[in-house]
Amino acid sequence: MKNNYSIAIIDYGMSNMFSIKNALVTLGFDVKITSNYSTILSSDGAILPGVGSFPEAMKNIHNLGLDRAIYDFIATKKKFMGICLGFHLLFDESNEIVNTQGLGVVAGKVECFLEGDRSLRVPHVGWSVVKKNESICNKRADVPLKNLDSDFFYFVHSCYASPEKNDDIYTTTKYGDINYCSSILYENIFACQFHPEKSGNKGVLIFKNFFN
């Protein structure tokens, strides 16, 4: 069923955005894939997706002037979501390939799994358990994993985010001996390492919970 809630999927040239759009369309949202400032700012919600390298993504965002659109949209307090690389870009910096400054919306840094650690396959590809921070669940009514117990979601990544503040960590996931932050819930922002759009009906429910 169509509704009037509009969502902008921010296009900076580094993502398969259509799988996200398809998931949102099935929920009835009005969805636009765009890099236009006015279109992004006028939307009711926004998503920063991404697959690829952190340095290249930041270069594209700066060249397209999308950093301003992202900052200004978040400042409106409307719902903003980051997925995978789009999650990483919200942090202060990343050491992927070369040290690179991020958007600095969330305090913390992005680090890469050590390829020399033979106990880990890099990149991490597949389904892993996501464990919720119950203290956040008890404080907020708009939690994206509402009605979803700790469960499996789909991951594809070589790096992971380390927020400075534990209070920002919404879920954690363990890979090898590393228990890392797999999503944050910070003010009007939900951002996750896993791919809701590739995680079946449970992933679609995350979109519904957050944007509704």
Which residues does the annotation mark as catalytic?
84, 195, 197
DSSP lists the bridge partners of residue 109 as 93, 162
Nearest to 41, CA basis, from 75, 82, 65:
75
- Are 203 and 152 in contact by the 8 Å Cβ rule? The answer is no
DSSP lists the bridge partners of residue 185 as 190
DSSP lists the bridge partners of residue 180 as 173
Taken in order 11, 15, 18, 19, the sign of the CA dihedral is negative
The residue assigned the tokens 């464990």 is: 131
Structure tokens at 97: 């390939």
Which backbone phi and psi does 34 adopt, to 5 degrees? -155, 155
- Are 94 and 102 in contact by the 8 Å Cβ rule? The answer is yes
AA identity, residue 159: C
- Crossing angle of the two packed helices 54-63 and 66-75, in degrees rounded to 10: 90
DSSP lists the bridge partners of residue 152 as 129
